[in-house]
Amino acid sequence: MAYFYDEPSHTFSEYLLVPGYTGPENIPANVSLKTPLVKFKKGETPAIMMNIPLVSAIMQSVSNDTLAIALAKEGGVSFIYGSQSIENEAAMVRRVKNYKAGFVVSDSNLTPDATLADVLELKEKSGHSTCAVTSDGTANGKLVGIISSRDYRVSRMSLDTKVSTFMTPLDKMVTAPEGTSLKEANDIIWDHKLNNLPIVDKSGKLVAFVFRKDYSQHKENPNELLDSHKRYIVGAGINSRDFRDRVPALVEAGADVLCIDSSEGYSCWQAEAIKWIREKYGDTVKVGAGNVVDGEGFRFLADAGADFIKIGIGGGSICITRETKGIGRGQATAVIDVAKARDEYYKEKGIYIPICSDGGIVYDYHLTLALAMGSDFCMLGRYFARFDESPTNKVLVKGTYMKEYWGEGSARARNWARYDLGGDKKLSFVEGVDSYVPYAGSLHDNVALTLSKIRHTMSNCGANSIEELQKKAKLTLVSSVSIVEGGAHDVLVKDTNTNN
For 303-361, write each residue's pLDDT tens digit.
999 999 999 998 888 887 787 888 999 999 999 999 999 999 999 999 999 999 999 99
Half-sphere exposure of residue 67: CA atoms within 13 angstroms, side-chain side: 33
So what's the pLDDT on residue 405? 92
Distance CA 99, CA 66 (A): 10
In the chain, % of residues over pLDDT 90: 75
| Residue 149: pLDDT band with limits 50, 70, 90 | confident
From the candidates 246, 299, 382, 418, which is the catalytic residue? Answer: 418
Using only C-alpha atoms, the chain has a radius of gyration, in whole angstroms, of 25
Amino acid at residue number 84: Q
Angle at 48 between CA 43 and CA 49, to 5 degrees: 80
pLDDT score of 416: 57
* Residue 382 designated active-site: no
Tens-digit pLDDT profile for residues 413-452:
767 566 666 666 666 676 778 889 999 999 999 999 999 9
pLDDT score, position 368:
98
Q: pLDDT grade, residue 500 (50/70/90)?
A: low
- Over the chain, what is the mean pLDDT? 92
Can you tell me the distance from the alpha carbon of 460 to that of 280, in angstroms, rounded to the nearest whole number?
A: 47
Q: Which of 2-6, 139-143, 323-327, 458-462 has the lowest mean pLDDT?
A: 323-327
Strands 15-17 and 35-36: unpaired
The mean pLDDT of 386-408, rounded to a whole number, is 92
Pick from 379, 400, 410, 387: nearest CA to 311: 379
Of the listed 319, 356, 378, 461, which one is catalytic? 319
Q: What is the mean pLDDT of residues 99-111?
A: 83
> What confidence category does residue 222 fall into, taking pLDDT thresholds of 50, 70 and 90?
confident
Q: What is the pLDDT of residue 174?
A: 95
Backbone φ and ψ of 449, nearest 5° = -65, -45
**Predicted local confidence at residue 213, as pLDDT:** 74
Asked if 143 and 205 count as a contact pair (C-beta separation under 8 A), the reply is yes
d(C-alpha 447, C-alpha 176), whole Å: 34
Q: How far apart are CA 429 and CA 407, in angstroms?
A: 13
Check if 319 is active-site. Answer: yes
